[in-house]
A and B are shown apart, each in its own frame.
Chain A
């Protein structure tokens, strides 16, 4: 006997997020780090900052830390990020 069943998944996708235009070069640019504040991020971002400055010529690196590591970045960080040319985030433990 044929059983007719329904798809249990969302099917409706969440509204898409359009990625920002990627810079062709980071030379002379400002890059922001949005850290979740966890212990392991310090070493990671320290090394990344060195690489960005020395190897890619980044002019300025700005560090910001979320107030809640499990929640989206605070509004003031998002506002500030509009001034950056690129941001690095989504780094976990």
Chain B
């Protein structure tokens, strides 16, 4: 623990009369998402930093387009405001490290009129340590940890990157995931490999995956035990997104709860099998745009095939959701491949060189 040897916090201090006055201070300065916040006291912020073994001025990263440095202290303040416990804080810092990778294109993601949130998917032992619930009401208000972590991402965007509606955030239509959008994978409820392992993180390590994501589109198919028929419903929802939102391929996520997952697993399908099937089925002809009022942009390429995924690797298959119900969710990307999902191990340096020799 850093304890008394920790360098002093450097943020400006405000003394307010009481809890209510703190709320008004934060709301009047547009430092919130519109909901009340936990007042970020020095003690609460220091507890987060101590948990993560980070000095206040530790540089978490520099946003690549606007060159904005993001420090541990400032992230901790926003995490406390969101309701995070100290044990949640390393997930917030790792998610931000991932978001600041060039391929994530954070500036475009957060300034676009296209309206996406940032989905955070948690894997590994940390899920259990923080009490993240990957089952009932996943993607909703399923538990304290995912709710607070997802909210911390948004509050930090607001306060550290000025991503306020009408400011940097030019979104035409947002979605509820822009308050909080965090999901843990139900690794105990599946034989499938965790998402983080599929994306190259060694098994046993905790990790987060961030994805620029539209709102979840829910599907239902309780009337078959054929994996192909189940997955066809997911693929159809992706095709609908291609026709109605963006035809271009990118990172999609599909969330498969236990009832459908058990059927698919019992048939011997792996996540890779799922991704390869979806890759083949989730594609549309450009000419289909004419069916949905977009004939003006078909031009001379009506037979060009657009795949929803650039390759099967671009599908994030996530096991999560309550135990009963033949439901699932498709989470489309923001604007095709302009952003890439990024996965980072918690407690690892994402920019460090491997040791030589």
Contacts and interface: CB of A to CB of B under 8 A. Distances in A.
Interface of A: 1-12, 14-15, 68-72, 92-93
A8 B77 CA distance: 6
Given A4-B41, A70-B338, A71-B338, A10 B68 contact: yes
Contacts of B137: none
B4 interface: no
Contacts of B45: 6
Interface residues of B, number: 48
A90 B71 CA distance: 29
Given A3-B22, A6-B11, A11-B12, A70 B335 contact: yes
A5 B16 contact: yes
Given A14-B67, A14-B68, A92-B170, A5 B105 contact: no
Given A9-B160, A70-B112, A71-B108, A3 B77 contact: no
5 smallest CB-CB distances across A and B, nearest first, come from A70-B108, A7-B12, A6-B11, A8-B159, A14-B68
B113 A93 contact: yes
B181 interface: no
Given A3-B22, A3-B41, A6-B40, A11 B170 contact: no
Given A2-B15, A4-B41, A9 B159 contact: yes
Given A3-B39, A5-B13, A70 B170 contact: no
A6 B13 CA distance: 5
A72 B65 CA distance: 7
B248 to A, nearest CB: 12
Interface string B156-172: 00011110000000100
A12 B77 contact: no
Contacts of B338: 68-71
A77 to B, nearest CB: 15
Contacts of B105: 68, 70-71
Contact of A7 (B11, B16, B170): B11
Contact of B42 (A4, A69, A71, A72): A4
A28 B21 CA distance: 60
A6 B16 contact: no
Interface in B124-178: 155, 159-162, 170
A1 B18 contact: yes
Given A14-B69, A68-B105, A71-B105, 17 more contacts: A2-B16, A2-B17, A3-B17, A3-B19, A4-B15, A5-B25, A6-B13, A6-B45, A8-B31, A8-B74, A8-B78, A10-B69, A10-B74, A10-B161, A70-B107, A70-B338, A72-B65
